[in-house]
């Protein structure tokens, strides 16, 4: 699993087959398919770059089982049928 901290890395991983784990300050942890509309560069810029990860983190994995093993993970309601 790779933590994404740069916009160019976000774009690279968004174009790859795999899964994003997005965390936020409330403790929510969602697993997204890479083509999910919720995996958006504007949200990434706000959460990771502007707020310097203080409101959450983005991770990428190409291994579904690894993503599902992330502590307290839930599948995104918008893309769960692809996971």
Mean pLDDT of 58-68: 96
Q: What is the structure's pLDDT at 4?
A: 97
Q: What is the structure's pLDDT at 1?
A: 94
Size of the chain, expressed as the number of residues it contains: 83
Task: Give the global pTM.
Answer: 0.92
> Which helix H or strand E contains 59, and what residues bound it?
strand 58-61
User: What's the pLDDT tens digit per position in 4-58?
Assistant: 999 999 999 999 999 999 999 888 999 999 999 999 999 999 888 888 888 889 9
What single-letter DSSP state applies at residue 47? I
């Amino acid at each position: 699993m790779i933590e994404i901290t740069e916009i160019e890395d976000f774009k690279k991983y968004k174009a790859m087959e795999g899964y994003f784990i997005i965390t936020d300050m409330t403790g929510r942890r969602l697993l997204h398919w890479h083509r999910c509309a919720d995996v958006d560069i504007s949200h990434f810029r706000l959460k990771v770059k502007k707020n310097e990860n203080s409101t959450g983190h983005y991770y990428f994995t190409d291994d579904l089982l690894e993503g599902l093993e992330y502590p307290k993970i839930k599948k995104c309601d918008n893309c769960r049928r692809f996971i």
